[in-house]
Amino acid sequence: MLSLDAVRAAAARIQGAVERTPFLPSRTLSRLTGCELHLKFENLQFTASFKERGALNKLASLSDAERKRGVIAMSAGNHAQAVAYHAARLGIPAVIVMPQGSPNTKIKNTQVHGAKVLLEGESLADAAQHAHALAKRDDLVFVHPYEDPLIMAGQGTVGLEMLQAVPELEVLVVPIGGGGLLAGIATAARALNPRIKLYGVESRTYPSMHQRLAGQPVKVGGDTIAEGIAVKDVGEMALAIIRKEVEEVLVVAEETIERAIVALIEIEKTVAEGAGAAALAALLEHPQHFAGKRVGIPISGGNIDSRVLASVLMRGLVRDARLVRLRVTMPDVSGSLAKVTQMIADAGGNIVEVMHQRIFGTASVRSPEVEFLIETRDREHTQALVRSLEAKGISVSVF
């Protein structure tokens, strides 16, 4: 089993090569979640993820003979980048096997660090099977993303730093993929503060650890924005530690993870990937566990495709009714469109797009419909804008 001494040894081994990231309070998110919230910005690591800690601790522990043989790892992205980066720094050849659906940004960044990248299988389990076969065939050292005590000890340095910075923390909330991060943090935190409470977080589409702890068969799968924690086979070592030390593993909806990403962008001006925002999502979806408590969470990673991030931000605007579509029916006479657009402007709405519809769905050929995509301040402003149009005799619907 893991120990505090192993975590401290890892901290000494990686010191100077991995960032001691900021651990800062957030007044706005504290008000939003009802607790005193502190954020550990692991997305500020060079590869934008906590995974560097475990990867470097493992690689730095290899013998000269093992380094010459080279290493292989399987990963959905962050472990891949961490192994590739630190292997290159240490002069160790590296092969990374990633699932075919891995985000483009993670594939590209792994290649940039000089590793040989192979895309195999549709899931992390498929990639792992192929990586194990290559390790055996080519006599490579397998660097597992979570089922390794050296990896877990390295990840545990996140918790060590959190409690060194704020010893009076009462609760830690940590995302779970294979469980290595939570197992390492739980080991360090429990040894330093036996009264601290620990919670894990999983996406509703991949609640593997939640199901294992409940003694249920593991049934997971489906699309998730949190691909970094979309793991079917959790670590057995991590499972044993989490079963002993962790209060509960919480499950969060995809929509809540999206909300958390948007909140971190808009409030903290920091980019988090789905897995990186999962801990905040747990506070948003399960606030009753944390009300009034002094809580610490890691923003565990920030590697998210720009296209996905843009979609999440736009969906957030729609969800908060700050971006709405209005369908307006107006008489087919000169100046009607100009009058309505002026009314929208007078009510404070910002017109983003306009589509004039004369053929499909109109009640009369003499009453064309116009669809407006409008930006507003918030839901109340949207409602006030609609009331303003209706008060002026405009037939309008929100969709």
Radius of gyration of the chain (CA): 25
Decide: helix, strand or coil at residue 98: strand
If you ran DSSP here, which 8-state letter would residue 320 be given? T
Q: How many CA within 13 A on the CB side of residue 346? A: 11
Q: Is 232 a catalytic residue?
A: no
Q: How many residues does the chain have?
A: 399
**Rounded CA separation 205/148 (Å):** 25
**Rounded CA separation 29/25 (Å):** 9
Instruction: State the catalytic residue, choosing from 40, 51, 58, 106.
Output: 51
CB burial readout 264-293, b (16+ within 10 A) else e? bbeebebbbbbbbbbbbbbbbbbeebbeeb
Q: Would you say 194 and 167 are in contact if contact means Cβ atoms under 8 Å apart?
A: no
Q: How many CA within 13 A on the CB side of residue 36? A: 8
Calculate the CA 266 to chain-centre distance: 15
In degrees rounded to 5, what are phi and psi of residue 296?
-120, 135
Instruction: State the catalytic residue, choosing from 75, 102, 203, 300.
Output: 300
Q: Would you say 146 and 152 are in contact if contact means Cβ atoms under 8 Å apart?
A: yes
Task: Residue 90: name the closest of 68, 109, 118, 75 by CA.
Answer: 68
Q: What is the number of H-type helices and E-type strands within the chain?
A: 16, 14
Q: Identify any residues that bridge with 297 across adjacent strands, giving them in sequence order.
A: 39
Q: Is 51 a catalytic residue?
A: yes
Place of tokens 């309505």: 340
**Rounded CA separation 170/133 (Å):** 44
| Residues annotated as catalytic (active site), given as ranges | 51, 300
